Structure 1
């Protein structure tokens, strides 16, 4: 049923429940509109388009009908859904031509995807804009405010939020990039974390173009990494890094010869005494 918005509230207010079940029937609006001299007409429609929703089961059935329609439209417009029944789209999802979507991908509201993007299995996207040639996942999560320029690669178990990654950036493994800007062709190694929240406020991380961040590094915002800089593996960066500099912020390794052997002997002796 459809009716003019200008009349909607007054018609709804006039619906009564004087019937055997004491329920309010939306279809009574037709009679009410006729009594007020408003025009009413019947239109023939497919049963799937006018199915009622009066329970959670019927709501799920209606959602399945909508999803089938959205998937069909996406494929007819040039996207490849490898396993269509496992892909869930929003009404405003926009997929470019020659996009490939692997199984078990969820598109929340506000996602636009450029041409020739590949979205690998088990990824979740919401409020994200992907330019052409981007690769996502598997097991990636793109949260609202994510903007990925052409050629960006987001790998497995990577999460982004309010992040702008310029062309060619690579974040391939196990990383969190939030409230951040990353310059073109930078590479963030496995386990890179932008520490953007201190328990009260959010802070931004600025990473210049051509930056290399070694694995298992924490960038404590607010912080800026200059263009062409290197961050050594395992560093905790709390101060700005100038362009083309090498930043190392970790404890120095110390090897103590024979100490492991002595430790094993001492622990074995203590264990034996404990057993009696």
Structure 2
């Protein structure tokens, strides 16, 4: 069955109290819109359409960064969900298959649930995603006659008896494209809100003798986000699920509640994650690694056997090969650390290559930025960089070379050489005692003067 998806992302989100379009507020490091796009993409659709409105330019940019082939259309006036879906009509011209309507602010509908809706389309003309609500509140209600969905009634238009129904509407709909737009043509705005409701297509379909059914899912999948509090709740829900999945996949989380995952974090089994670790987007950790407490990782890769932290920061472009050690208060950015190398203490390695088995002493800095451009540092295999070395890029340190502690290295060092670049040490006999006596006397005079 050919599938296309329409994702509604036009709302302003007034309750967010934000200049940012609601659908661009992040959950686990990605705009909630991206979560909806991921769910849609899992169906391998023939086409994807996003209906933007408020902040359309910013929404379009996010969509294009995710998938250049996804089309964006604009709903200039927000006249309801039915009107929003109508805006996708031209983009789907000629499409002959099932259209699934999704919502950018309802980002947790699982691919398995969407597949169940597609399967249900084999026996139903229109399929709606519903859920049993513990507190139905202001959700639209699904009026059933046995297994048949007769109508969806919005809360504002519902009778007391209809408001007592606990089977609620998520808003997600699957329908043949031609049928969907034919039904939308018949939708009116004769309701309490004066809007064109997508939900009205159910009553219209039944009046035409078409069948309508319901697929249900847990209420958590249909969580809608309209406020900062709901955004925080959604993020917490995502984290809870991500932690459970990681542990099921063989990852040890020493304090699960303190670990923060991004939407795309990948961790191999037998990896140990210590407390208070933060994963930003685009992090991959291979099997058997250990990420120690209070470390922050984003845009990086850690190979098998790697140990990171505690209190380490891996920034975008950090590539750690097998059995690399990155220790406390070390920052790695846009750098490859080859197998078995060690950067154990208080160092910054940026725009660099560190060869296999090299040892980077405490306080080492690659001075990579001249105020305009970034420059590269190359450190050879089995090199030994003495503590408190400043490597002024561009510079290359040869294989098995050494730098003396406290050196400022501005020129290349050949293989096997020792580079010493620091001021000559001089010694003044007895001067330390004399200096301290002078300072103490000065302090005593100041004390008496006060």
TM-score, length basis structure 1: 0.90
Query: Aligned-pair distance for 1:268?
Result: 3.2
Check if 1:212 corresponds to 2:275.
Answer: no
Q: How far apart are the structure 1 equivalents of 2:74 and 2:419?
A: 69
Deviations 1:72-94 (A, max 9, x none): 11111111011111101112111
Relative to structure 1, the CA distance from residue 131 to residue 263 in structure 2 (aligned partners, 3 Å threshold; closer, same or farther) is same
Q: Which moved more, 1:254-263 or 1:193-202?
A: 254-263
Alignment of 1:226-237 (within 5 A): 226-237=398-409
Match of 2:269 in 1: 97
Q: How far apart are the structure 1 equivalents of 2:292 and 2:315?
A: 16
Relative to structure 1, the CA distance from residue 39 to residue 148 in structure 2 (aligned partners, 3 Å threshold; closer, same or farther) is farther
- Aligned-partner SS, 1:29: coil
Query: Aligned-pair distance for 1:157?
Result: 0.4
Match of 1:113 in 2: 285
Query: Aligned-pair distance for 1:53?
Result: 1.1
Matching residue within 30, 35, 42 for 2:199: 30
Q: How far apart are the structure 2 equivalents of 1:238 and 1:213?
A: 14
Relative to structure 1, the CA distance from residue 148 to residue 7 in structure 2 (aligned partners, 3 Å threshold; closer, same or farther) is closer
Q: How far apart are the structure 1 equivalents of 2:261 and 2:290?
A: 16
Match of 1:4 in 2: 5
- Aligned-partner SS, 1:4: strand
Structure 1 unmatched runs, 5+? none
Query: Aligned-pair distance for 1:260?
Result: 1.5
Query: Aligned-pair distance for 1:43?
Result: 2.3
Matching residue within 340, 345, 350 for 1:178: 350
Matching residue within 418, 421, 429 for 1:257: 429
Asked if 2 retains the 8 angstrom alpha-carbon contact of 1:11 and 1:33, the reply is: no
Asked if 2 retains the 8 angstrom alpha-carbon contact of 1:140 and 1:154, the reply is: yes
Q: How far apart are the structure 2 equivalents of 1:234 and 1:245?
A: 16
Match of 1:246 in 2: 418
Match of 1:168 in 2: 340
Query: Aligned-pair distance for 1:265?
Result: 2.6
Deviations 1:16-74 (A, max 9, x none): 2677678x79xx22336986999975321111111221111111111111111111111
Structure 2 unmatched runs, 5+? 7-47, 52-72, 81-188
Check if 1:187 corresponds to 2:359.
Answer: yes
Q: How many residues align?
A: 272
Alignment of 1:52-67 (within 5 A): 52-67=224-239
Relative to structure 1, the CA distance from residue 271 to residue 65 in structure 2 (aligned partners, 3 Å threshold; closer, same or farther) is closer
Asked if 2 retains the 8 angstrom alpha-carbon contact of 1:158 and 1:172, the reply is: yes
Query: Aligned-pair distance for 1:270?
Result: 3.2
Q: Which moved more, 1:9-18 or 1:129-138?
A: 9-18
Match of 2:314 in 1: 142
- Aligned-partner SS, 1:228: coil
Q: How far apart are the structure 2 equivalents of 1:84 and 1:172?
A: 26
- Aligned-partner SS, 2:199: helix
- Aligned-partner SS, 1:271: helix
- Aligned-partner SS, 1:154: strand
Q: How far apart are the structure 2 equivalents of 1:166 and 1:21?
A: 63
Q: Indicate the RMSD between aligned Cα atoms, in angstroms.
A: 2.7
Q: Which moved more, 1:97-106 or 1:13-22?
A: 13-22
TM-score, length basis structure 2: 0.56
Matching residue within 308, 313, 324 for 1:152: 324
Relative to structure 1, the CA distance from residue 224 to residue 135 in structure 2 (aligned partners, 3 Å threshold; closer, same or farther) is same
Query: Aligned-pair distance for 1:122?
Result: 0.4
Asked if 2 retains the 8 angstrom alpha-carbon contact of 1:30 and 1:40, the reply is: no
